[in-house]
Amino acid sequence: METLSSTLVCDPQIEILDEEKTSTESATDDRLADEKKTRRVLIAVVLVALALRLFVTLLPIGGDQMHIRQQGRVAEALLAGRGFGSPFRSNQISAIMPPVYPLIVAAFFKVFGVQTTASILAVHAFDSVLSALACIPVFLMARRSFGERVAWWAAWGWAFSPYGIYFAATWAWSTHLLLLCLCWLIVLAQQLEQSLRLGLWAGFGLLAGFAGLVEPSVLVIVPFLLALACRRLRVEKKCWLMPGLVACTVMAAAISPWIIRNAAVFHRFIPMRDNMGLELWLGNNGQSLHWTNDDLNPEHNARELAEYNTMGESAYMNYKMQQAEAYIGNHPAWYAWMCVRRTVYLWTGYWSFNRDYLAQEPMDLANIPFTTCLTLLALLGLVTAWRERPWECIRYAGVLFLFPFMYYFVHPGAYRMRPLDPIVGMLDCYAILALRNRIKIKAVRSASVQVSPAAVELPSAEEVMMD
């Protein structure tokens, strides 16, 4: 018995197993400690981002900062018991605004008063919180795509983003909630590419449906993200059809109540919103000094508002669609050139150097070089990703291509590109770090040639990236 006991104690195999167990436990403890540290720092990033946005909210920046005009009117109609009303000065029932953000504004109006200083500041603070929270999915998607270092750069970059700070603090719109939803959609899509869990796919569909009720323009990228995830599962010879059907079914169920409501109220099928005719007319009516003609908008034109109220929303929108289609049909060359100009404007900020235009948009002179640099760096990031991580390049290039596609043909707006800012910023960070890595590698190679070509082992790109 004594011999057996001493044998068990001294058995080298048991000692090796004990060492492996200890090593595994130590590695697990290290990972947990790293995750805790990551969470603490990420919370700090969010708090810094929020502090910056709230600080700017209190500054007297914009003329419309202390008003919530169109979303506010829909919220007022909800509180008055009229349902989803018009964003214009009208008592009509409307399908112009999707439902989520007006409901949120209505909740703030209910608590703090309608269009009071307190309620408006509360809405801006809410938008600032949404914008700051986007640091979390930005970090997660960047870490999964490009590694830890790029993730921290991207998270801090979004915290200090001028666009993120300014628009969250001054623009009371659904843009900030849409931005957060888009970032989380990409994070979930990354997980779908390697998971068969139906609950995860259903969650993606539910979030996609919610995002569509925030702003329907985001729905254009959902089929792309689903197709990419299904394609990657198919390449790995995994089941993809059932998960894809689950995601699509849940998304359809999420948006169907709004579509049913619109069909019941207007007695026709309306795909999410009904203002395409007006939007197309505002950008395609012969006026090219500015990227849109607000003088024809019922928000600013009494005659147009009277027509809107007299004809009713459906008839008015159909009439505007006919006007826009007629002008485009009679001026195809003008329309093609305007589409090119819109594309350039959305990605560079440049529309015109005309004095009358710059009098309306005085910040363009500063915005043009800034936006152009961000776009060029993002393109460099995509090219670099194509060489090293092609799936990541395909995902982000697809999102950047599809999301603004409709605006090239209708009319652009500076705020329309804001949901893409975190993605552009992440690609910018990846491009900057990739350039930095190449410079380091060249420097090491140059030093190795001077010392001894055989004596120095060159680091890999990944090793330099983690430096």
Mean pLDDT per 10-residue segment, the chain (467 residues): 47 55 62 85 96 90 64 94 94 95 96 92 94 97 95 97 92 93 97 94 97 95 96 92 96 96 94 93 93 91 95 96 97 97 96 94 93 97 93 96 95 90 97 90 74 51 50
pLDDT the model gives residue 377: 97
Q: What are the structure tokens assigned to 171, written together?
A: 């623009």
Structural tokens at position 361: 């948009």
The answer on 446 and 323 residing in a single domain is: yes
Domain shared by 378 and 249, yes or no? no
Cross-strand bridge partners of residue 93: 85
In a domain, 326, yes or no: yes
193 and 340, same structural domain? no
Q: Within a domain: residue 340?
A: yes
pLDDT at 452: 53
Same domain, 439 and 312: yes
Give the whole-angstrom CA distance, residue 86 versus residue 93.
6
Residue 303 shares a structural domain with residue 407: yes
Q: What is the reported pTM?
A: 0.89
Interatomic CA distance for residues 464 and 456, integer angstroms: 15
Q: What local confidence, expressed as pLDDT, does residue 9 receive?
A: 47
Structural domain contains residue 442: yes
pLDDT at 252: 96
Q: Are residues 225 and 302 in the same domain?
A: no
Same domain? 212 vs 308? no
Which residues contact residue 222 at a Cβ distance below 8 angstroms, ignoring those fewer than 6 apart?
A: 185, 208, 212, 251
Do 237 and 308 share a structural domain? no
**Structural domain includes residue 351:** yes
Residue 412 lies in a domain: yes
Choose one of 237, 271, 305: the last residue of a domain. 271
The pLDDT of residue 23 is 58
Could you tell me if residue 143 is inside a domain?
no
* Structural domain count, the chain: 2
- On whether residue 108 sits in a domain, the answer given is no
CA distance 343 to 353: 17
Sequence-distant (≥ 6) Cβ neighbours of residue 133 within 8 angstroms: 46, 180
Query: Are residues 282 and 188 located together in one domain of the fold?
Result: no
Residue 158 lies in a domain: no
Same domain, residue pair 391 and 419: yes
User: Residue 102 has which token pair?
Assistant: 């007006």
Predicted pLDDT at 458: 46
Verify that 255 and 357 share a domain, yes or no: no
Domain span at 238 = 174-271
Residues 458 and 323 in one domain: yes
Out of 271, 306, 324, a domain closes at 271
Measured between alpha carbons, how far is 379 from 397 in angstroms, rounded to an integer? Answer: 9
Residue where one domain finishes, among candidates 253, 271, 289: 271
